[in-house]
Structures are given as structure tokens and as C-alpha cells.
Structure 1
Amino acid sequence: MNEDQKVNASGLPRDHLEAASAENVSAAVSSQTPVVEPEPELVVNPWDIVLCTSGTLISCENAVVVLIICHNPSLRAPMFLLIGSLALADLLAGIGLVINFVFAYLLQSETTKLVTVGLIVASFSASVCSLLAITVDRYLSLYYALTYNSERTVTFTYVMLVMLWGTSICLGLLPVLGWNCLQDEATCSVVRPLTKNNAAVLSVSFLFMFALMLQLYVQICKIVMRHAHQIALQHHFLATSHYVTTRKGVSTLAIILGTFAACWMPFTLYSLIADYSYPSIYTYATLLPATYNSIINPVIYAFRNQEIQKALWVICCGCVPPSLLQRARSPSDV
């Protein structure tokens, strides 16, 4: 044995003793140093990203409509007030979806959850109620064509706006005021923290409004067909022209009502039959089409309107195309 491997009094080689001493010092230091656990990795649900993206698109699209109506004094007729109400409701719905995404991953608390869900419920309720108000307004403009532009119609429009926004705000405040499932998880609906009873009230209200809209659009179809027939007789149009005009008007109404039903009906029916125990993927899959309705609404109700088209052309290009100035309104433009 050489000098470095001589055994000391403990019977261990010197290099073994040095290694053991180093291990003891390391263990002592580590025992005094607090153990820092790694922070859990933030996992973002892809469905939430899609909803946030939809909310951003909804906000931008409807903000354009709101700005156009607010900055054009000529757009103050009852029809434009209701279209503005619809755009404002959809704008708030889009903002609510974005805020909900931010709070869910950056500021997680029960209070923020209640506030954001209340905002989403109120805004989407106002959107659906505004669609019903627009349907009522279109029916009245056709049924009472001679007296529609009176002061009475303006007053009735303001009354409808106050009622629909008041009702929507009340529905949005219910979760904040205590009608939520935070204290009893078993009462939760597919959208936490809404209770099953709260979701059922919203779903039944939607089905009632959809049935009312369907009835009104059936009556509108009858009026459109009668007006188209009268115009054809007065101007001695051919039967084929009358048929084409009528079919276009009915097709437009079918697209409006069919789009509304296709977007909202899946989530409405799912909310009635499901509860919190169902897989969340079904909630996302039915809720996402409902948000698409707020994307489609400006296209159907705002950007198809000739006056709004003119205002948009003036803002973007500073002029109005001659084709838009010469186009006349037909019975199919309902």
C-alpha cells in the first residue's frame, strides 16, 4: 500500500474519509436550505383559445357596426336603433368571452368568475332579445306600413329597448346575487357557476322567443307574398318575376331563422338535459356555435342594409358606388 491509501485509526482509507466528510457537509447544507417545489405548468384548454378567438372577432366586427350607427345622425330610425342594440349586445358578449379567458388563467377567483359569467349571460340574453325586437319591428313595418314612421313607433321602440336590456341585466345579475352553485356543486349546470334551474330558465325563455319569432316570420312571409303579388299586378310583371321576388324574400327569412336556430338550438337543448357531470367537451361543442351567431348577426342585419353600406363606403373610401345609390328596395329586403 502506498502512502495515500494507508488506513487510519478508524480502519478506513483516507480518501474514503474525505468523501464521507464532503457528503456530510452537503447533506447538512441541503437540510438547512428550504425545498422549492416547481410551479405547476399552466395548461391552456384549446377550446378556451377558440372561444377567446371568437370573442375577439365578435368584438371587432360589432364594434364597427356600433361606431357606424353612433357617428351617423341619419341612422336614428327605430330599425337602426334595434340593429345598434343587437351590435352592442354582441360586442359585450365578445368582450365577455375574452375577459373570461383572461381571468380563467391569470386571475382565478370565484368573484371574477361570477362577474364574467354574469356579463356573458346578460349580453347573450340581450342579443337574443334584440333579435326578437328586430323581428317585431319588421312585422310592424310591413303590417302598419302607412303609420310605421310615426312618433308612436319611436316610443314603442324605446320601450322595447328598455324592457329587453332591463330583463337581460336582471338575468346577468342572478349569479352575482347568489343564484349560483358555488355552495352546492350538485346543483351546477353545464356552465359553472350557473345552477341547473338558472340554465333551465334561460333555455325555456329561448325556446319561447324562438317560437314567437317563428310565428312572426310566418306572418311576414304572408305579407311579403301579398305585397309582391300586388306590385306585380300594378306594374304588369310576368308571373315568373313575381315568383322570383317572392321566393327570394321567403329564402331570406328562412336563412335568418334557420341560422338563428342552428346556432342556438344545440346549446339550448343540451342545457336542459345535461348537468355538471357531463363531459365538458359537449358543452364547448354546443356553446361554440352559439357564439358564431354573434359573428353572423352583423352580416345579416347590418352589412346587408343599404344605409349602413353607404355609411361604410363613405368611411372607407369617401364615396358611395353608383350601383348602391341606384338600387331600389324590394319586397324581399326584409
Structure 2
Amino acid sequence: MPTAMEICPEGPKVSKYYQYYNKTLIKVHYACAKELNKNELDERMKNKEGPGLKNIIFIIICSIIILENLLVLIAVFRNKKFHSAMFFFIGNLAFSDLLAGSAYIANIFFSGPKTFDLVPVQWFIREGTAFIALAASVFSLLAIAIERYIAITKVKVYGSNKTCRMFLLIGACWVTSILLGGLPIIGWNCINELTECSAVLPLNSRRYIRFVVSIFSVILLSIVILYVRIYLIVRSSHQEATNSQAYALLKTVTIVLGVFIVCWLPAFTILLLDTSCKMSSCPILSHADAFFGIATLNSALNPLIYTLRSKDMRREFLRVLCCWGLFQCGRPAERCMVPLKSSSSLDHCTNKHEHQTTPIMQDCTTGV
């Protein structure tokens, strides 16, 4: 029986970019990286069964993710009470979660035997979109942490400077995420270097995966450090009313960060294992899809956290669902799309403390 190494070519190499449309390249990389013999590879390619129960469950979960985060985006952009930097950052995180759910559905439909019908450039787009969504989530959490830290350490945070900072952070988040997720298609891949290929992602270089996981780990550590500093600043404040508001917001974003780490830690562990272990030595790598599925649940949990932690967000969610006809709320149809008045506790807090000289007093919230 032929082994994987017997079908790994050792002939003359051509430009990796020239091979981006080579229809046989993916088959070669999967056989070598996953150490498949010819019979095992043929079995994978000929498996024409429809999506299994596990994939159907994940498709349902991803559909829920898309609807949940779409609901967050609608709530943030339609309700004037949420037109503040903090909620725009939450909207940005929701958009990255929505992209993650969409990318995972696309990954399911173009995986399995259909993987071998792709050319490398299509494979890079499939996997790169998922990495972009992950990077956007991590950078969104970093942007939220930076915004919270600046908000409680600067005297005046309302005005054009804050708006400019918000758009710069959101823009930097997506530019950096696209660059990070696009590195393999730009050229940082293992084409022509089969011994450097990842077993989980057979066209990606192990060095690239190690780099990405290291970057994410450093960012998450930085976020934790920022939140510790924020906690110490809030704790040292002598204004009890503001402390309760700041603690409420701090608790919410900390929960979001904690859930992210819990959901993604198994996937990060698998990726780190992949950088130093072959499939034959670490058979758990063959079950990587299950760990990435757990990671995807993070995108479904974030909207639930906002709903449980914010009374105003719950009210707006219910209002949007009423407009969609999912609930009967007794609200006239012609008034369904009318924005809620902005005389909320957020606006009251903003107007009242806009000119306060104590930084912590400007960190008002609507019970998030």
C-alpha cells in the first residue's frame, strides 16, 4: 500500500504563485500533511454523502449566530441611546462575530470531498476569511479595552477627539485583521515546502500559525493587563455612585473577554500542538474541527451576554423582534420603526457629567 510520502513530489519546484490554480496541489498537500496513503485519500475524495449530523448542528448554530449579531447591529445603529463609542465597539465585535458565523457555514459547505475541487487560491480565501473574523474579534476586544482605559484616565472624553479615536481604532482593527488573515495568500504558505505544512491546515505554514497564535496570545495578555489597571483605577476612586456604574461596565467586558478565552483556548492549544507535532504522533489533530466548533460558540454567547447585562439592550432587542413580527407587542405598525427617545440614563449621565473634572465620572452607562 503506498504511503503518504510516496506520493509527495520531490521534483523541480516552480513559483508558488504559479501553482495557485493547480487543481492537484491540494490533494498532494492533504496527503502529505495528514499522512494519508492513496487509499485513504481516495476514500476522502469519493465520500459524496451529504452533511453529517454534526455539520447540520453547526449550521443551525451559525445561523443563530448570524441572527443574534444582526440583532445587535440593528439595535446599536437604530437606537440613539447606543450612539456612543462603547456601543459602536460592541457593534464592531458583533459584526466580526457575524462574519465568523458566515465563514464557518461557508467552510462547512466547501469542506470534506469538495475541498479537493478547490484550487489553492480558493482554499486560501476559505480559510483566510475565518482567520480575519478571529483576528477582528481579538482586535475588537483590544479596542474596547483601550477605549475603556482612555475613558477613565482622560478628563474630557466626549467630542470630536473621541469620535476620531473610535473610527481610528475600528479602522485599524479591520486593516490589521485583513492583513493578518491575508498573509498566506500573499505568500506566507507552505507551497514548495511540504515538510513545513500544518497538519490541520495543510496549505498553511507552521511558522505562520505559530506567529498568529503568538500575536493573539500577546494581545489577550495586553487586554488582561489593561483590565487589571482599569480595575485598580476604579477601585481607588472615592465616588461610590460612579464606582457602581463603572464596575457594571467593567464586569460586562470582562465577562466577554473571559468567555472568549474559555471558548478559544482549546483551539489555540490544538494550533500550537500542530506547530510541533505530526498527525501520526498527535492523532488528536484529526479532531481539530470539534475544537474550532467550540470556538465558534463564542460568537453566539456574546449577544446573550449583552442581553443579560443590559436592560436597555433587552428592551431594544424585544422592539426589533416585534418589528419583525416574531412577537405581538401591541405597538402600532406605523410606530414600529420610530427610534426610542434618547432621554435615557446614558444621555442624562452624558449631559450631567460632560464637563466634570473627575475622569471616572464620564464613564456612564445604561446598566451594561
- The residue that corresponds to 2:316 in the other structure is 311
- Give unpaired runs (5+ residues) of structure 2: 1-44, 323-328, 350-363
Is the alpha carbon distance of 1:185 and 1:67 closer, same or farther for their aligned partners in structure 2, counting shifts above 3 Å? farther
Native 8 Å contact 2:72 2:91 kept in 1: yes
- The residue that corresponds to 1:177 in the other structure is 186
- The residue that corresponds to 1:164 in the other structure is 173
- The residue that corresponds to 1:239 in the other structure is none
Mapped pair 1:286 → 2:295: no
Residue 190 of structure 2 aligns to a residue whose secondary structure is coil
Native 8 Å contact 2:256 2:305 kept in 1: yes
AA aligned to 1:205 is I
AA aligned to 2:187 is G
- The residue that corresponds to 1:61 in the other structure is 68
Please state how far the C-alpha of 1:307 moved relative to its aligned partner.
4.2
- The residue that corresponds to 1:115 in the other structure is 125
Is the alpha carbon distance of 1:230 and 1:204 closer, same or farther for their aligned partners in structure 2, counting shifts above 3 Å? same
AA aligned to 1:313 is L
| TM-score (normalizing by structure 1) | 0.72
Please state how far the C-alpha of 1:331 moved relative to its aligned partner.
8.7
Moved more, 249-258 or 107-116: 249-258
- Give unpaired runs (5+ residues) of structure 1: 1-38, 235-241
Native 8 Å contact 1:100 1:113 kept in 2: no
Please state how far the C-alpha of 1:291 moved relative to its aligned partner.
1.0
Native 8 Å contact 1:224 1:249 kept in 2: no
AA aligned to 1:42 is K
- The residue that corresponds to 1:87 in the other structure is 94
Residue 197 of structure 1 aligns to a residue whose secondary structure is helix
Identity value in percent: 28
Mapped pair 1:147 → 2:162: no
1: distance between equivalents of 2:306 and 2:130? 21
How many residue pairs end up in the alignment?
283
AA aligned to 1:154 is T
2: distance between equivalents of 1:212 and 1:100? 31
TM alignment of 1:203-242, pairs within 5 A: 203-227=213-237, 229-231=238-240
Residue 199 of structure 1 aligns to a residue whose secondary structure is helix
| TM-score (normalizing by structure 2) | 0.66
Moved more, 44-53 or 89-98: 44-53
- The residue that corresponds to 1:6 in the other structure is none
AA aligned to 2:181 is G
- The residue that corresponds to 1:42 in the other structure is 48
Native 8 Å contact 1:188 1:196 kept in 2: yes
- The residue that corresponds to 2:18 in the other structure is none
Please state how far the C-alpha of 1:79 moved relative to its aligned partner.
1.4
Moved more, 298-307 or 246-255: 246-255
AA aligned to 1:193 is L
